[in-house]
């Protein structure tokens, strides 16, 4: 790859008239980033109109020019230092700005915060501090401007620095530096100021150059969210292609890879491109299809990473900031759909920690997030998800929230959250609390019925004889005089099959929860309940078992076990004969003391 010049996006914020445009204009002029004669032309124009020259006019003139060109982007200015290229974003409206920043349309790696030394710290100066924190921008410099208006007095600068530092510390933000400047005159912008010999620190340009830059995408750790899994169609060709876009890093043939959240490991056998020859390597920005050394099964949505590199977080809880655009407010405990890279999972807000109104930039303490507000929230997903922190890797650290088929919010992940509280446990606690137990104990029922209760889940691939075995088992147990019921819940009812009237991600979760509750009810009444479910994964099994608890759940897998690392009690071969299958399942139930030993066949 050709050596590229480093680029850094910087956002500039500050109260109106504190000198943002002037500072940007001055940076452009002092770094020689303007077209020849531009400044002179604008100055002449001012003279003709008998107006004093303003750097803001200079920026306006540039904007007009840009608008005629290809990019109509009025809020950006470009300048170069010896070290790198800068793009300065002058945030016009806060709503647009926050939306763009959080949705990933724009990304600021550093911020300049301008405060007028003469006017002092304004409410807006504080609000901007909040915004920086919400966006998680770590590289922040505060420019105390218009020092000429306070006679370049060190005491004024030190007082503002002390006061503003105190405020920033309260919101947990640590600015890199404070620079006393007179933007209009160029003091400490790109050169040291003769007027402020008492200041020995870096000028604004030096501060910017000093901000550390993230490595380019291809040099970061490898992340490839799995978009789809294709099978070769050739005769007897059993290979599978894992397809996706490499978001960051590089991967080579022979690399050991891990798929998360499942944790499955494998090794890259080949890298195929859709319209090209086989290659040895794929890197950030490329879409590729990879084959693996050993055959295995995963679902789309997993993130492929390298075993030798820093792994992403795998968790069901994280803290994030969301920018909310939904018509209905974002509320606690309602189920939304979370999309992060190619993963889609049900999610709830377990806690709203803090809310900031994007229009007024006023922060408040409330338990929901309205349209055009930014909420710092704890999210809980219904299954583990793999993610990075937005500050480390944007592609796997940002997400969108879907409410009623519409993207209603965008978020950036700030940190994983580790605690034992989870929505399922809370739900079960509530259920148990509200449950009026009868005087007949499970032991009484077992005595009377001649067996204990159980939920038997028969799982495996589609069309492997699961339903036939389930029904045969029901009949056999019924013949033995047991209280048994086959719950013929179809894939469609379970939300597992394509059903366009329902959101599949949420539908499946809802259906499994209902099934778990139903199972709990039926096993609580002393029944042996049998059901069959196609391709249930470890986590979904866990959900069923937890809901059915304290009653027991047995899992029988038919055919190749594709999605379960644990939790299978019995494996049957594909299309196993009903008689054989029943014998094995009954043996299992006898060993587990659900049935008496006399039934051991
Ligand atoms: N005296 C003085 N005036 C300045 C300085 N920097 C900016 N200004 C003036 O402050 C006013 C507002 O500046 P501007 O850059 O448009 O502020 P913005 O609203 O933050 O973009 C303009 O009249 C500038 O000329 C400075 O260092 N000293
Ligand atoms: Mg301005």
SS3 per residue for 447-506? HHHCCCCEEEEEEECCCCCHHHHHHHHHHHHHHCCCCEEEECCCCCCCCCCCCCCCCHHH
Select the more confidently predicted residue: 14 or 247.
Answer: 247
Instruction: Indicate which atom in ligand 1 lies nearest the CA of residue 147.
Output: 27
Burial of 541 (0-12, 13-18, 19+ CB in 10 A): buried
Confidence of residue 77 (pLDDT cuts 50, 70, 90): confident
Residue to mutate (ligand 1; options 13, 16, 19; most atoms within 8 A of CB): 19
d(CA 401, CA 406) in angstroms, rounded, equals: 8
Instruction: Indicate which atom in ligand 1 lies nearest the CA of residue 185.
Output: 27
Give the mean model confidence (pLDDT) for residues 142-147.
Answer: 98
Instruction: Indicate which atom in ligand 1 lies nearest the CA of residue 14.
Output: 20
Reduced to 3 states, what is the DSSP secondary structure of residue 2? coil
CA of 116 to the centre of ligand 2 (A): 13
pLDDT tens for 359-382 read 666 777 889 999 988 899 999 998
CA of 74 to the centre of ligand 2 (A): 12
CA of 174 to the centre of ligand 2 (A): 25
Instruction: Indicate which atom in ligand 1 lies nearest the CA of residue 182.
Output: 27
CA of 223 to the centre of ligand 2 (A): 39
Instruction: Indicate which atom in ligand 1 lies nearest the CA of residue 25.
Output: 15
Residue whose CA is at the smallest distance from ligand 1 atom 2: 146
Q: Minimum-distance ligand to the CA of 20?
A: 1
Q: Specify the pLDDT at position 497.
A: 52
Residue to mutate (ligand 1; options 22, 91, 124; most atoms within 8 A of CB): 22
Q: Specify the pLDDT at position 494.
A: 61
Q: Specify the pLDDT at position 284.
A: 94
pLDDT tens for 504-552 read 777 788 888 889 999 999 999 999 999 999 888 888 899 999 999 889 9
Terminal CA-to-CA distance of the chain, rounded, Å? 69
CA of 18 to the centre of ligand 2 (A): 8
Q: Is the pLDDT of residue 243 over 90?
A: yes
Instruction: Indicate which atom in ligand 1 lies nearest the CA of residue 114.
Output: 20
Of 126-140, 199-213, 395-409, 477-491, which gets the smallest average pLDDT?
Answer: 126-140
Residues around the ion ligand 2 (C-beta < 5 A): 20-21
CA of 77 to the centre of ligand 2 (A): 12
Sign of CA dihedral 146, 150, 155, 160: negative
CA of 58 to the centre of ligand 2 (A): 11
Q: Angle 289-255-225 (CA atoms, 0-180°, nearest 5)? A: 45
Residue whose CA is at the smallest distance from ligand 1 atom 12: 17
Q: Specify the pLDDT at position 513.
A: 87
Residue whose CA is at the smallest distance from ligand 1 atom 14: 19
Mean pLDDT of the chain: 88
Q: Minimum-distance ligand to the CA of 75?
A: 2
Residue whose CA is at the smallest distance from ligand 1 atom 19: 17
Instruction: Indicate which atom in ligand 1 lies nearest the CA of residue 145.
Output: 27
CA of 199 to the centre of ligand 1 (A): 21
Q: Specify the pLDDT at position 500.
A: 56
Q: Which residues line ligand 1 (CB under 6 A)?
A: 14, 16-22, 54, 56, 145-146, 148-149, 182-185
Q: Is the pLDDT of residue 139 over 60?
A: yes
* 368 membership: H or E segment, kind and range: strand 368-369
Q: Is the pLDDT of residue 165 over 80?
A: yes
For tokens 């005491």, the residue is 155
The string of DSSP codes covering 394-460 is STTTEEEEEETTEEEEEEEEEEE---S--HHHHHHHHHHHT----SS-HHHHHHHHTS--EEEEEEE
Instruction: Indicate which atom in ligand 1 lies nearest the CA of residue 187.
Output: 27
Confidence of residue 461 (pLDDT cuts 50, 70, 90): confident
CA of 324 to the centre of ligand 2 (A): 27
pLDDT over 70 for what percent of the chain? 91
Q: Is the pLDDT of residue 126 over 60?
A: yes
Q: Specify the pLDDT at position 353.
A: 92
CA of 53 to the centre of ligand 1 (A): 11
Q: Minimum-distance ligand to the CA of 60?
A: 2
Of 89-93, 313-317, 397-401, which gets the smallest average pLDDT?
Answer: 89-93
Residues whose CB is less than 8 angstroms from the CB of residue 251 and which lie 6 or more positions away in sequence, other chains included: 222, 224, 257, 268, 271, 281, 282, 283, 290, 304, 306
Q: Specify the pLDDT at position 566.
A: 81
Q: Minimum-distance ligand to the CA of 16?
A: 1
Local structure of residue 216 (DSSP, 8 states): P
């Amino acid at each position: 790859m050709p050596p590229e010049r480093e680029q850094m996006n910087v956002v500039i914020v500050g109260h109106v008239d504190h000198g943002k445009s002037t500072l940007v204009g001055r940076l452009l002029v002092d770094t020689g980033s303007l077209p020849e004669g531009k400044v002179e032309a604008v100055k002449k124009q001012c003279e003709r109109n008998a107006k004093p020259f303003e750097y803001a006019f200079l920026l306006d003139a540039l904007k007009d020019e840009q608008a005629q060109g290809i990019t109509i982007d009025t809020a950006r200015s470009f300048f170069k230092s010896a070290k790198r290229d800068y793009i300065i974003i002058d945030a016009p409206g806060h709503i647009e700005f926050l939306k763009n920043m959080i949705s990933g349309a724009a990304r600021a790696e550093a911020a300049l915060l301008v405060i007028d030394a003469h006017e002092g710290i304004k409410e807006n100066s504080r609000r901007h501090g909040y915004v920086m924190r919400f966006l998680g921008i770590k590289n922040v410099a505060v420019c105390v401007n218009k020092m000429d208006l306070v006679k370049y007095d060190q005491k004024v600068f030190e007082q503002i620095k002390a006061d503003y530092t105190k405020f920033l510390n309260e919101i947990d933000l640590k600015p890199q530096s404070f620079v006393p400047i007179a933007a209009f005159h160029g003091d400490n912008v790109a050169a040291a100021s003769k007027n402020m010999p008492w200041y020995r620190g870096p000028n604004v340009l030096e501060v910017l150059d000093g901000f550390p830059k993230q490595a380019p995408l291809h040099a970061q750790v490898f992340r490839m969210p799995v978009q789809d899994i294709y099978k070769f169609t050739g005769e007897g060709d059993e290979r599978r292609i894992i397809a996706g876009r490499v978001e960051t890093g590089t991967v080579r043939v022979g690399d050991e890879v891990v798929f998360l959240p499942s944790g499955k490991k494998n090794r890259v056998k080949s890298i195929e491109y859709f319209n090209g020859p086989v290659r040895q390597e794929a890197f950030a920005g490329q879409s590729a299809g990879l084959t693996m050394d050993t055959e295995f099964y995963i679902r789309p949505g997993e993130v492929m990473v390298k075993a030798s590199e820093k792994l992403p977080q795998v968790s069901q809880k994280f803290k994030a900031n969301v920018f909310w655009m939904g018509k209905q407010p974002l509320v606690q405990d309602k189920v939304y759909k979370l999309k992060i890279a190619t993963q889609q999972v049900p999610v709830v807000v377990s806690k709203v920690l803090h809310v900031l109104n994007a229009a007024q930039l006023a922060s408040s303490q409330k338990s929901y997030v309205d349209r055009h507000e930014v909420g710092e929230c704890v999210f809980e997903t219904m299954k583990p998800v793999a993610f990075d922190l937005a500050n480390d890797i944007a592609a796997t650290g940002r997400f969108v929230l879907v409410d009623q088929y519409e993207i209603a919010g965008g978020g950036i992940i700030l940190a994983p959250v580790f605690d034992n509280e989870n929505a399922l446990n809370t739900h079960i606690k509530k259920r148990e609390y509200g449950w009026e137990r009868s005087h007949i104990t499970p032991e009484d029922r077992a005595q009377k019925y001649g067996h204990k209760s159980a939920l038997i889940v028969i799982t495996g691939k589609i069309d492997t004889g699961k339903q036939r075995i389930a029904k045969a088992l029901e009949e056999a147990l019924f013949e033995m005089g047991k209280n048994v019921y086959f719950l013929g819940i179809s894939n469609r009812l379970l939300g597992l099959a394509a059903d366009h009237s329902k959101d599949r991600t949420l539908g499946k979760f809802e259906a499994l929860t209902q099934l778990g509750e139903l199972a709990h009810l039926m096993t609580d009444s002393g029944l042996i309940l049998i059901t069959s479910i196609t391709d249930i994964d470890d986590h979904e099994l866990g959900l069923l078992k937890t809901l059915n608890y304290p009653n027991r759940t047995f899992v029988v897998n038919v055919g190749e076990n594709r999605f379960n690392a644990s939790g299978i009690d019995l494996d049957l071969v594909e299309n196993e004969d009903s008689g054989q299958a029943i014998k094995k399942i009954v043996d299992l139930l006898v060993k587990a003391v659900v049935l008496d030993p006399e039934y051991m066949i």
